[in-house]
Amino acid sequence: MKRSREEMQIVWETPANPPERHDYIFRNGTRYVRPYYFEFISHVKNRWAGKTIVDLFAEEFKGRPYDYYVSAVKSGRIQVDGQLVPVSYIVQPSQKISHFLHRHEPPVMAWDVSILQEEPDVLTVCKPASVPVHPCGQYRKNTVIGILQAQHDLAPLFPVHRLDRLVSGLLILARSASKADLFRQQIEAGMVKKQYIAKVIGVFPEDEQVVNVNVNYNAREGRSTVEEVGDCCGNGTGSTPVKGKAACTKFTRISTNGTHSIVLCEPITGRTHQIRVHLQYTSHPIANDMLYLSKVVPDRSTEGLSAGRAAAVKSGPLITNTCEASINKSEENCSEDFSIDPACTNCPNLAPKGYDGREEGLWLHCVRYTGPDWIYECPHPDWAFLN
């Protein structure tokens, strides 16, 4: 039964509170996190100094209306250095600002995080698409690290490499910081070979394609662009200054049905969105990559959506590709009640604003990492087998 805030005792969580199995709610193939109370802490930046506490929040955190921040300051949900302040309070550099709120995490697809191989010092898993690797942004419990801790009591874990949220496949996790450092040293020394597969538009060329174009990532827009510079050894073609970072990817066609192709992708470097933007450069973008199917940059909405989500919203709903068999059926009927907070701008919905729609993972999947004396692999997804 749902209860109002006045009828319950609020328990504030911090990052030290580990995720637990009962924190998750499963509904229609989607994994939600039961909303919880959390203290967000930030420190006043120099450019914030001199603003009133309300104006600071209204200008820097636009996901909530101005009136909410007025109410939050008056009720003590926003504090400065642990003290209540008036709405006219002028903030100063380095002051600690606490925002106590009812936290709603974005939902992810309800696929399991499948354990592939468990060793004393290494764990490999098949990361589901739509699930971030570690806590970031609005995600904390709805992450690979959080789910593994909640469902398998696996902690601490140290990601050896990263996969974008919408990318699926092999994820290597060290079970100690020293082991993670060893892996990273091998990666930085160029001793590790990475292989992905992608489903792209059209008939990809039969011969191996080597793309060597700089990747320039625009963090504000959440999107990369390219600029041609030379060969895989980094030899430029002229004296004109280039933007971005050197990037090289090798592509080999695995199969095609005349409409789509499955392509093996071997990134020589590791730039943000490198495979995605290099495939766009070949005129064979990933077939469901709304961010790179068009050269038009989508609007990053004031709701704080990522570029990928904004592109998906602008392009309409994606084709559902949910693997129902991988959903943890034992938790499908988990109790769905949660406490409604009358001061919360997201209640009574489970998801925060802007995250209510279903989404699909990219048709990009990490299949293999090979090192000097080790190799880890992940099975191919269903979409990799063309009809």
Catalytic positions? 164
How far is residue 136's CA from residue 146's CA, in Å, rounded to a whole number? 11
Name the residue with tokens 């090979």: 370
- Compute the distance between CA of residue 379 and CA of residue 227 in angstroms, rounded to an integer: 34
Q: How far apart are CA 149 and CA 155, in angstroms?
A: 6
Q: How many CA atoms lie within 13 A of 89 on its CB side?
A: 20
**How distant is the alpha carbon of residue 333 from its chain centre?**
26
| Joined tokens for residue 197 | 């597969």
Q: Which amino acid is at 163?
A: L
3-state class (DSSP) for residue 80: strand
Report yes or no: 19 and 141 within 8 Å, Cβ to Cβ.
yes
| Cα separations in angstroms, 308 against 29, 69, 133, 282 | 20, 28, 17, 21
168-174/364-370 β-pairing: parallel
The pair of structure tokens assigned to 11 is 């328990």
Six-digit token string for 188: 């930085």
DSSP H or E segment with residue 67 = helix 66-75
Instruction: Name the DSSP class of 48.
Output: T
Nearest residue to 279 via CA among 307, 242, 288 = 288
**CA of residue 184 relative to chain centroid, distance:** 21
**Residues present in the chain in total:** 387
CB 244 within 8 A of CB 223: no
Q: Which residues make beta-bridge pairs with 196?
A: 265, 366
Contact 287, 201 (CB under 8 A): yes
| H-only helix segments in 102-233 | 144-152, 177-188
